[in-house]
Amino acid sequence: MSKSPVARASIENLIKQAISLHQQGRLGEAEAAYKKILDIDPNEFDALHLLGIINAQRNSFEEAEKLFRRALAVDQKVPPCLQNYGAVLCKLGRFAEAIEYFTSAIKLAPNHAPLYLDRGQALIALKRANEALSDYDRALALEPNFAEGWLARGSILSDLNRNDEALHALNKALALKSEGAEARLIRGNILFALNRQTEALADFDRALALRPDMAPALCGRGNVFCALKRNDEALAAYDKALALNPDFVEVWLGLGHVFRNLGRYDEALAAYDKALALKADLPEVWFSRGNVFFDLNRDEEALQSYGKAIDLRPENAEALLNKSLVKLSLGEFEEGWSLYEWRWKSKFFTSPVRRFSQKPWLGDADIAGKTILVHAEQGFGDIIQFYRYLAELKKLDCEIVFETPAPLIPLFATQKHNFQIITWGAAYPHFDVHCPLLSLPHAFKTTLQTIPASIPYLVSSPGKLDHWRKKLGQKNKPRVGLAWSGNPRNVDIRRNIPLKLLLPMMSAGIEWHSLQKDVLEGDRVSLKTNPAIVDFTASLNDFSDTAALITELDLVISVDTVAAHLAGALGKPVWILLPFHPEFRWLRGRTDSPWYPTARLFRQTNHGDWGGVIGQVSEELEKLFSSITRILFPLTSLNEDRNLPALDAGKEQ
């Protein structure tokens, strides 16, 4: 039954009054006014719709849902009501239904950009990211200056790891609305993912200036400090975030990372376990938990955690790569080398992915008569270790082009080889297939028993040898080379030994030679104030110099760095000092190396305990050289140690 014009006018007047109260934020009075209207007419659309909005504003989503549903039963063709109903359904977790109502609204108002934004958010909740991105793009095509659209686009691109595009979108959002705390937070997270820590920290700080209680921004600050190894500041930021939200999973994950940085492994595991208690299906936490077990050489537990991470995300490159490292450490090469190919998809792997039109070769095709490009990767030590495989490759009757960093060219150019060597960045000659250098063990199906270990597989050039023999002069004592730290840019400082710790083992009966090209700041004083160490830093122009110097030594003592690999490849006796958790190539528990027959391994028995290693090396040095010195240098040793005249002094001439 239709209302009389007087009744209709009365209701419209009441609605105007209710809307005025609503707009003033006087929600209680507005609610009463809407209810009064519904007492008069239970099917009054505007009253139902606007009362639903009040309930949504109060987070009373179930009541709001009922009111919107009643309103739509009266009129199904009002886009704002359809949009609001979809938003409430999202709050109730009913995303598929929400999408239906957003779609109905879009059909009625196809040029209204916020509708695409809302539908996109529902699609994201259902993990339909590409469809969501299409909706965001449609919204921005309709309204290019839609700040919220750029924000949403940047957020989903970040989730898809398309961080450069995500950063562009967030820059647009902030150019349109510079004081958005949410946009600052998301851009900070993107910058963090791009390893632009200083800029990320500035965004997190600005977000906190706008919203001091923004726990995710505090978490972001903690993540930056953790990455920068500013561990105390990271702990402080995470503690503040937990004070605001004790169940913040990502903060517990970050705390685990900090405790791992600090070597507080039990606390790291406890933090990761807390995160898993809150949300058991996070592959990042299982991966991080596996890393702690791997650090502790608890390999089976590491494999279990990596397995969980892989079950949750089968294409989890980081977990698959680290699983390969465990397998290789255990000598399980067949699975290990196969899984090692995941390194190219890991965000933590720093060597650039090479993209060629030619097919990769992994031992799966006959390459006789063809030309293969082998491109070096990773560090100088890795390249020297796996250079040996080029001789194996040559047995396949193929032509080889070997691409390697410029600093290694002088060393490799002097070898007897029958293949072409080019430096990184040079023009490529013709080639048919290509293979990364460290994929060759996989291509050759290498096992512990089939490692190509014929040494030496590197030799020094005669010219450099002659130069260094003259430079070293007459040999009166055993000569030992020493390398105590690696590349200063290498973040894994656990392999380094402060030079001052090594000084007590330096016997006066030995001629000590530094093999360091780069000396860390903390070691310079120790080196300069200890004349027992001959410092050739200025004379080691390239690796061919280092190779020639090593060739003239009786022994090399080195941490896990390029000098150890070079000595092993040259077939010189080399003692390698390893941290508690060494790289996969040194396997587990062995004192020898199948890669380098002349190597002897000295391992930490506890994290950070170089004292035990140095003590063992000192004892072995005394055993080795006490007898050798008497045999090789009896007269010189007696004369020097006892201040006796030479035996030919005073002799008739």
* Domain-wise residue ranges, the chain: 359-450, 462-640
Distance between CA atoms of 406 and 15, rounded to whole angstroms? 79
Distance between CA atoms of 194 and 192, rounded to whole angstroms? 5
Among candidates 288, 260, 261, which has minimal Cα distance to 272? 288
Contacts of 352 (CB under 8 A, 6+ apart): none
**Residues pairing with 534 in the sheet:** 513
Q: According to the 3-state scheme, what is the secondary structure of 284-297?
A: HHHHHHHHHHHHCC
Question: How much of the chain is in helix, strand and coil states, percent to nearest 5?
Answer: 60, 5, 35
CATH superfamily, with its number, for domain 462-640: Glycogen Phosphorylase B; (3.40.50.2000)
pLDDT tens-place string over residues 431-458: 999 999 999 999 999 999 999 999 999 9
**Pairing of the two strands 479-483 and 399-404:** unpaired
Going edge to edge, which strands form the sheet with 479-483?
A: 533-535, 511-514, 479-483, 555-559, 574-578, 599-603
Same CATH topology for 359-450 and 462-640: the answer is: yes
The pLDDT of residue 481 is above 80: yes
The pLDDT of residue 539 is above 50: yes
Cα 562 to the center of its chain, rounded Å: 22
Check: CB of residue 59 under 8 Å from CB of residue 27: no
Which sign does the torsion angle of CA 111, 117, 118, 120 carry? positive
The CATH number of the structural domain formed by 359-450 is 3.40.50
Which sign does the torsion angle of CA 408, 412, 414, 420 carry? negative
- Residue 638: the pLDDT is 36
Residue type, 184: R
Mean pLDDT, the chain, integer: 92
Contacts of 42 (CB under 8 A, 6+ apart): none
**Pairing of the two strands 399-404 and 433-436:** unpaired
DSSP 156-213: HHHHTT-HHHHHHHHHHHHHH-TT-HHHHHHHHHHHHHTT-HHHHHHHHHHHHHH-TT
Categorise residue 161: left if φ over 0, alpha if ψ from -120 to 50, beta otherwise: left
pLDDT tens-place string over residues 291-327: 999 999 999 999 999 999 999 999 999 999 999 999 9
Q: What is the mean pLDDT of the segment spanning 41-49?
A: 92
Check: CB of residue 358 under 8 Å from CB of residue 432: yes
Q: What is the mean pLDDT of the segment spanning 589-606?
A: 97
Distance between CA atoms of 249 and 285, rounded to whole angstroms? 9
Confidence of residue 627 (pLDDT cuts 50, 70, 90): low
Long-range Cβ contacts of 589-598 (<8 Å, 24+ apart) = 593/568, 594/448, 594/451, 594/453, 595/385, 595/451, 595/453, 595/568, 596/453, 596/455, 596/565, 596/568, 596/569, 597/453, 597/455, 598/455, 598/567, 598/568, 598/571, 598/572, 598/573, 598/574
Contacts of 116 (CB under 8 A, 6+ apart): 106, 135, 136, 138, 139, 142, 149
- Residue 492: the pLDDT is 66
- Residue 195: the pLDDT is 92
Q: What is the mean pLDDT of the segment spanning 179-191?
A: 94
Percent share of the chain, pLDDT over 90: 83
The pLDDT of residue 637 is above 80: no
Confidence of residue 491 (pLDDT cuts 50, 70, 90): low
Q: What is the pTM of this model?
A: 0.85
The pLDDT of residue 1 is above 50: no
The pLDDT of residue 647 is above 80: no
**Pairing of the two strands 533-535 and 555-559:** unpaired
Instruction: For residue 380, give the DSSP letter.
Output: H
pLDDT tens-place string over residues 356-384: 999 999 999 999 999 999 999 999 999 99
- Residue 249: the pLDDT is 98
pLDDT tens-place string over residues 391-436: 999 999 999 999 999 999 999 999 988 899 999 889 999 999 999 9
Phi and psi (nearest 5°) for 339? -65, -25
pLDDT: which is higher, 488 or 408:
408
- Residue 652: the pLDDT is 35
- Residue 640: the pLDDT is 42
The pLDDT of residue 51 is above 90: yes
The pLDDT of residue 476 is above 80: yes
- Residue 635: the pLDDT is 40
The pLDDT of residue 86 is above 60: yes
Instruction: For residue 554, give the DSSP letter.
Output: S
- Residue 519: the pLDDT is 87
Percent share of the chain, pLDDT over 70: 94
The C-alpha R_g of the chain, in whole angstroms, comes to 35
pLDDT tens-place string over residues 199-211: 999 999 999 999 9
Distance between CA atoms of 487 and 517, rounded to whole angstroms? 9
